[in-house]
Amino acid sequence: MTSTVKTVSVVRQTLGYVRTLDHLRAWPLRLPHGVKEVVLAVGSGDERQHAGTKVFVQQNVPQLKFFNPQVKFSVETREIERSEVIFVSEDGGSQVVDTTSLQWRDIQKELNSLFTTPPPPQQKQ
């Protein structure tokens, strides 16, 4: 009986591990090589306007970290009305994406459109 309990426990742990890896691999967005830091600035205004950014931090930042281990990620709560994702490049430049009032899926789509390069057109033969 004890071995059955241990087996069930090991299976549950393994499934949890597999689900975690599946989640991390679910959004394979690789940031450009020049990006050195990502700052997620969550505004302190109306809670409803920043809910999507907070969910994005919980759901998608681990995925971004998994595929971009060379990039530093930080989350800050700021006394500002808007939430934003700031991509800081090695040359000191930055790109800001306003995420106020966006749902987490919309933030994900916005970043996909910014950083996913379309495949090259196929040549007809």
pLDDT in tens, 46-95: 777 889 999 999 999 999 999 999 999 999 988 888 899 999 999 999 99
79 vs 58: CA distance, rounded Å: 21
Phi, psi of 45 (to 5 degrees): -75, -140
Going from N- to C-terminal start, the domains of the chain cover 35-115
The pLDDT score that the predictor gives to residue 80 is: 80
CATH class of 35-115: alpha beta
Output DSSP code: residue 86.
Answer: E
60 vs 109: CA distance, rounded Å: 12
The pLDDT score that the predictor gives to residue 84 is: 94
Question: Would the pTM of this model clear 0.85, i.e. be above it?
Answer: no
- Indicate whether 115 pLDDT > 70: yes
Helix, coil or strand: residue 34: coil
61 vs 94: CA distance, rounded Å: 18
